[in-house]
Chains A and B, each alone.
Chain A
Amino acid sequence: MTLTRSLASALAVLAFALPARAQEAAPDQLVKSVTLEVIDLITKDKEIKSGDRAKLIQVIDAKVLPHFNFTAMTALAMGQSWNKATPEQKKRLTEEFRTLLVRTYASALAAYSEQRFDFRPLRAKPTDTDVIVQVRVLQQGAQPVPIDYSMEKTASGWKVYDVMVGGVSLVANYRTEFNNMVRESGVDGLIKNLSAKNRQLEGAAK
């Protein structure tokens, strides 16, 4: 009796778990498919190739953004200053930082879309919920540039919370700047600075 019951419940759990599992790509597969898809879009699109930044950012927005956890990235970049921000400020900071990162990411992808990529197999246990996915950009006559995506398993799939390029953590690299600004002019000063930077880049792109 208990056996059938536990069997039944096990089956029920399985039935629920299976479709979710199928949707959830392994993190290294996710990075590979998204990167290749975006590179393919970029290299085939005439407008993007001829320098249409708005369209490039649109592509990144649609294809790449859903796989990033920007709140986590902003919190990591802020370090201790994150706790000084109100929920409203946290929201603004995340929005502005996201705009800046997307722009940077778009530039990087456009610049390196001609290079060859080497997607490394994932070295992690199936039970791990925090992994590093390694990709390398290969170029003639130079040491390959490693790009490491730190990813975390969440309820809505694997999310990137840091990108390391050549050993430089993008998130950590903002920490000193952010903390300096918070110390000088408060969280609002930092928001103002970030937003001014974004407006300036927007203006330059036109």
Chain B
Amino acid sequence: MSPRVLLALAALALGGCASLGGDDPRDPWEGMNRGIYGFNDKLDQYVAQPVAKGYRKAVPGELRDRVRNFFGNIGDVFIGVNNFLQGKFEDGFNDWVRVAFNSTFGLLGIHDIATDMGYEKHDEDFGQTFGRWGAGPGPYLVLPALGPSTLRDGTGKVLDFYTDPINETQPFEARWGLVALRLVQTRADLLEASRILEEAALDKYVFTRDAYLQRRRNLIYDGRPPRERDPEDDADQKPR
């Protein structure tokens, strides 16, 4: 998907259906979101999952590790940038040391030797940086083909897309080959998780949404979120 198409879709999604609403204050566009969710689910069921399963069967685990590491190394560049933008200089430095070691001794990133050396991988993106800067998530938003997001994270995704080093790849065919391979690898890594979700959820849409919102909040605070001020939170009401 080109950035322009992506933006047009985002604009459509944002502008089109502001009136459709559920009763969850975090998800005022629930009607529209559920529609896109249904579409994504079908796309996943008939295209992404079969391809990911085929890839799993055809490519041995060892090789899939190399592929994951290769893309993980490319991702580390802007994970570092985002850590710097959030003022976490030590983490950002860590990320760039990872890139330095993995790109050279790790043979263009296919071996994650930095982790064995004690430089752990992080998970950052522009959505998290905005969150760190104080932006709330805004309304929940399901993006066509891309899945769960929020107004803040969706905006971040546009920046992630523009700064993605894969987008600089020439020629054109190589670029889309890499984009496709990364998508397939990512979906293949999520096969177990999505099956567990399928089993665990009573209402998959709600379960996915709540998990996404919890997960993003946790990521923004790097695993140490402050306690939520939730009037419905009966956390202290455990029966003994």
Contacts and interface: CB of A to CB of B under 8 A. Distances in A.
Contacts, number: 101
B174 interface: no
A79 B24 contact: no
Interface stretch (B46-54, B80-88, B165-173, B212-220): B212-220
A155 B210 CA distance: 34
A143 B121 contact: yes
B164 interface: no
Given A75-B238, A168-B211, A194 B202 contact: yes
Question: Most A CB atoms within 10 A — which of B68, B112, B193, B200?
Answer: B200
A95 interface: no
Contact of A143 (B120, B202, B234): B120
Interface stretch (A18-26, A34-42, A56-64, A101-109): A101-109
B203 interface: yes
B90 interface: no
Given A107-B196, A167-B223, A176-B24, A143 B123 contact: yes
A175 B234 CA distance: 10
A80 B200 contact: no
Interface of B: 24, 65, 68-69, 71-73, 112, 120-123, 189, 192-193, 195-196, 199-203, 206-207, 210-211, 214-215, 217-219, 223, 225, 232-235, 237-240
17 contacts: A71-B239, A75-B237, A107-B199, A111-B196, A140-B65, A140-B68, A142-B68, A166-B218, A167-B214, A168-B215, A172-B210, A172-B214, A173-B210, A175-B232, A177-B207, A193-B202, A201-B199
